[in-house]
Amino acid sequence: MLSLAWLVPVFPLIGSIVTGFFGLRIGKDAVGKVACGSVALSFMTTLIILAGLVMLPEEHRIYEQVVFTWFASGDLVVDFGYQIDPLSMVMMMVVTGVGLIIHIYSIGYMHEEYSYYRFFAYMNLFMCSMLLLVMGNNFLLMFIGWEGVGMCSYFLIGYYFEKKSACDAGTKAFVVNRVGDFAFLLGIMYIFKEFKTIDFTSVFAAAPNTLIYGGEAVTLITLFLFIGATGKSAQIPLYTWLPDAMEGPTPVSALIHAATMVTAGVYMVARCNALFMLAPMSMMTVAFIGGGTAIFAATIGMAQNDIKRVLAYSTVSQIGYMFLACGVGAFTAGIFHLVTHAFFKACLFLGSGSVIHGLHGEQDIRKMGGLKKYQPVTYLTFLISTLAIAGIFPLSGFFSKDEILFHSLVDGNMILWGMGVSGAFITAFYMFRLVFLTFHGESRVDPHVHPHESPKVMTLPLVVLAGLAAAGGLLGIPLIKGAHLLHHWLEPVFSFDMKAALDASAQMMIKEGHHVPAWSHLLEKEEHGLAMEIGLMLLSLVIALSGITAAYFFYIKYPTLPDRIMQGQWGYELVKNKYQVDEFYDATIVNPAIEGSFFLWKTCDAQGVDGAVNGVAKTIAWFSDQARAFQSGFVRNYALFMVVGFIGFLIVVF
């Protein structure tokens, strides 16, 4: 059953080719069917593989399938192979499952579009790349998927390419991602230098015996990899592209910019846990960047008025949580949050899409309100997902976020925990601000627009996703031993033997004649009581509820209050303008780059290089001008030249 793995990315690829090349010919209905069908096939294959993987004994739950050797050059042998293990299994389930739901939703959402087929071709191509990313058995194949999803993201952000803002957003996403991808590539090269291989299994197996704990090499590798992850997963400092990416169609935002692609960085860090565990400094960086992003993006989210932008900042913030979890070594919690986030954020985006659809393209929440009675299904699903993201018991977000906060306190420190908790408060606040402004209160809808509920093909995916968002927490119920399914499931991937690694490092250091520092404290596990866990849970619940209450107070009870107290406050203005980060980047990086390019273009290229080239051309043209007088076009002239030549010949001969 596991040998079917190679089929999983193939289905969407076929779908992409069919819809892309024959889309106009086979018609809209067929395009939708092919696109969704291919993803559905992929999903079913994934289920079969899951069954196959479950049947294996726990410690052997890894399956590698080398389809062919991609290329071999000296030491570097790259196989085109798939690796199926619990971690990639989870990702495959999320990608194909959520992807399928969003594909179905898109049939309804994109129905009015002319280039329907183009959309689905890109979406299918994205699915293929994303599956390659999570299934690849080596870094380079992962990188191919990584670039593939980036490319599809670029295509889909710029889907409305006749809009300049969409084109610019696509370019921005592409360029910003390039920064991260470059670092990722450097990381891969460094890995190859150290290990002489880039296969996941061999690298991770060799890591403890090759790299010294906390050494320079492993720190650099992991930092490079993490910079790559910040680019793709929109973390500080490379997060600016994601809010702009909302120019794409809403299903794209849901699939690519919320559920799957942007979490690829988290997946990558989790996949490389064997490397990251060896680099405490990198771990600390990951945790602080994650925590910082979580709170930073959340504050920006408080003051945005575009429904999709609020969700975009929320996505950035939530991915920050995932990195926070990874940074403190709680990879399971990070992946858990990734899964639940995929459910509720996809649901939120699709819900916002439904709202936009119902309002004929209106995205400004100041022009919404009171939509509860027009769009009951959308409202209900949106509310469930919002409760989930805010972390209300017993919805999925509660479990995953709580687990992250718990680990950030236990394995991390108070600062990280404080960041997480305040982020959670803000999250609850701005998410409910969104709900209240959109669905509650007085209707501020343009009187010409008549809101309506979306068709079944759109609401049904919402219901399914809301169900998942509500029930997803069951994957990881804390407290009760053995009930944390996900933890148990991912155990083989994340079972990093710290003691063995430290011993190996110590041996290497002794061999090189270095002094071995005292690492024994790293192995001590702090015991924490059940009471503390429950206390933390209650605390986060209280924080979430207080966030909601604050939102209720501001936006339902006294709707005029926010404007009165916020207007003109420098803090509010700062947040509203997204901390001026875009302007800062424009001033420090983008504009100098543009000016430098202008200099290169106008001075070096246009004047220097072109001048030299044109000079040569002009010289030749001058000679040609002299020579062309002979080419008069008069036949007699040519005859005259002939005669002259002939006479010249005669003179030479005699």
Would you say 558 or 622 has its CB closer to another protein?
622
CB-based contact 186:246 (threshold 8 Å): no
Contacting residues toward another protein, per CB under 8 A:
628, 631-637, 639-640, 643-644, 647, 650-651, 654
Distance CA 68, CA 131 (A): 17
Amino acid at 336: F
Q: Nearest distance from residue 651's CB to another protein, in Å?
A: 7
Q: Nearest distance from residue 629's CB to another protein, in Å?
A: 9
Would you say 55 or 640 has its CB closer to another protein?
640
Would you say 495 or 632 has its CB closer to another protein?
632
Distance CA 328, CA 406 (A): 10
Q: Report residue 41 CA to chain centroid gap.
A: 24
Helix/strand/coil percentages in the chain, nearest 5: 80, 5, 20
CB-based contact 353:105 (threshold 8 Å): yes
CB-based contact 316:239 (threshold 8 Å): yes
Q: Nearest distance from residue 603's CB to another protein, in Å?
A: 35
Find tokens 């559920």 and name the residue: 259
- Structure tokens given for 607: 């004047």
Classify residue 82 by its DSSP letter. Answer: E
Would you say 480 or 652 has its CB closer to another protein?
652
Cβ atoms within 10 Å, residue 452: 12
Would you say 114 or 634 has its CB closer to another protein?
634
Would you say 68 or 630 has its CB closer to another protein?
630
Would you say 511 or 636 has its CB closer to another protein?
636
Would you say 570 or 654 has its CB closer to another protein?
654
- Structure tokens given for 452: 């309506």
Q: Nearest distance from residue 649's CB to another protein, in Å?
A: 10
Q: Report residue 293 CA to chain centroid gap.
A: 14
Q: Nearest distance from residue 653's CB to another protein, in Å?
A: 10
Would you say 522 or 642 has its CB closer to another protein?
642
Q: Nearest distance from residue 621's CB to another protein, in Å?
A: 11
Find tokens 């709580």 and name the residue: 402
Q: Nearest distance from residue 645's CB to another protein, in Å?
A: 11
Q: Nearest distance from residue 180's CB to another protein, in Å?
A: 56
Q: Nearest distance from residue 642's CB to another protein, in Å?
A: 9
Would you say 570 or 630 has its CB closer to another protein?
630
SS (H, E, C) 66-109: EEEEEEEECCEEEEEEEEECHHHHHHHHHHHHHHHHHHHHHHHH
End-to-end alpha carbon distance in the chain = 96
Q: At what angle do helices 331-358 and 86-109 cross, to 10 degrees?
A: 0
CB-based contact 333:432 (threshold 8 Å): no
Distance CA 211, CA 640 (A): 86
Would you say 530 or 650 has its CB closer to another protein?
650
CB-based contact 355:438 (threshold 8 Å): yes
Q: Nearest distance from residue 610's CB to another protein, in Å?
A: 25
Distance CA 583, CA 166 (A): 19
Would you say 175 or 644 has its CB closer to another protein?
644
Question: What are the phi and psi torsion angles at 395 (to 5°)?
Answer: -80, 165
Would you say 25 or 636 has its CB closer to another protein?
636
- Structure tokens given for 283: 């771990």
For residue 63, list its beta bridge partners.
Answer: 84
Distance CA 140, CA 118 (A): 28
- Angle at alpha carbon of residue 171, lines to 173 and 136, rounded to 5°: 50
Distance CA 59, CA 432 (A): 44
Find tokens 């849970």 and name the residue: 537
Q: Measuring CA to CA, which residue among 220, 232, 230, 228 is closest to residue 191? A: 220
Distance CA 334, CA 392 (A): 18
Q: Nearest distance from residue 634's CB to another protein, in Å?
A: 5
Q: Nearest distance from residue 627's CB to another protein, in Å?
A: 9
Question: What are the phi and psi torsion angles at 443 (to 5°)?
Answer: -75, 125
Would you say 515 or 636 has its CB closer to another protein?
636
Q: Nearest distance from residue 168's CB to another protein, in Å?
A: 47
Q: Nearest distance from residue 648's CB to another protein, in Å?
A: 8
